[in-house]
Structure 1
């Protein structure tokens, strides 16, 4: 279950950043080397890292984004099987240029259409729905 929040009192609870990135109006998705699915760029926050810095770092590492704008949208929470909720920051980005990159990502996919084969099918469609509700995609 995914919930959305405009505020969280303890930013240390933010463990992930996920970025809905576009370039020239098309979605920028990632295909991990170890998976057959697609996902938004994103990843874990490092110790003492601000969550927006996490989003910028992950966008660069996973897509090769060189020039871009990035805006935080909201906080999302995902309930784990044990009932605990983990939190992340959902962002949007517009990438205007790319450079070569070397990471766990096999390739980026630039597309008008969104996939059926999401890496995280219980999370990513809800993030999209929230972005659509906010007229951000």
Structure 2
């Protein structure tokens, strides 16, 4: 079981990763990793010495090819698996105006969705991603 918690503020040094819930032309942008059949929001781990917003910008580009967009922070969050230490991330929202070619990294495919299938095996991280989506949707985005 995974517990997800949201925070208004957190120390920059706590963040391990950034996740970006992105929309283009009113549709959600999701990506699929080359090694998986499931879908996820763009995001990834922070490089040493990197500011978390720079992580978000880098990952959004690497995983979607986004070239022109606006990015805004939503909140900090953590997830905790039983018996493990909590991991902290920063959640962002991006309004993407233009997607360029998908860079040759780990992402196989990018799709735009009006709504998400209700299949249990759709999400890569089914215990986390729906919480993040609800958080952003609760802000009246989309």
**TM-score for the superposition, normalised by structure 1:** 0.95
- Deviation of 1:134 after TM superposition, in Å, equals 2.1
Q: What is residue 4 of structure 1 aligned with on the other side?
A: 6
Q: What is residue 44 of structure 1 aligned with on the other side?
A: 45
Q: Which runs of 5+ in 2 are unaligned?
A: none
Q: What is residue 92 of structure 2 aligned with on the other side?
A: 91
Q: What is residue 76 of structure 1 aligned with on the other side?
A: 77
- Deviation of 1:80 after TM superposition, in Å, equals 2.5
Stretch moving more, 95-104 or 30-39: 95-104
Secondary structure at the aligned position of 2:53 is classed as helix
Q: What is residue 54 of structure 1 aligned with on the other side?
A: 55
Q: Which runs of 5+ in 1 are unaligned?
A: none
**TM-score for the superposition, normalised by structure 2:** 0.91
Alpha-carbon deviations, 1:25-67, whole Å to 9, x = none? 1011001110010000000011111101000000000000011
Q: What is residue 109 of structure 1 aligned with on the other side?
A: 111
Q: What is residue 123 of structure 1 aligned with on the other side?
A: 128
CA distance in structure 1 between the partners assigned to 2:55 and 2:82 by the alignment: 26
Secondary structure at the aligned position of 1:68 is classed as strand
CA distance in structure 2 between the partners assigned to 1:114 and 1:91 by the alignment: 19
- Deviation of 1:83 after TM superposition, in Å, equals 4.2
- Alignment size in residue pairs: 136
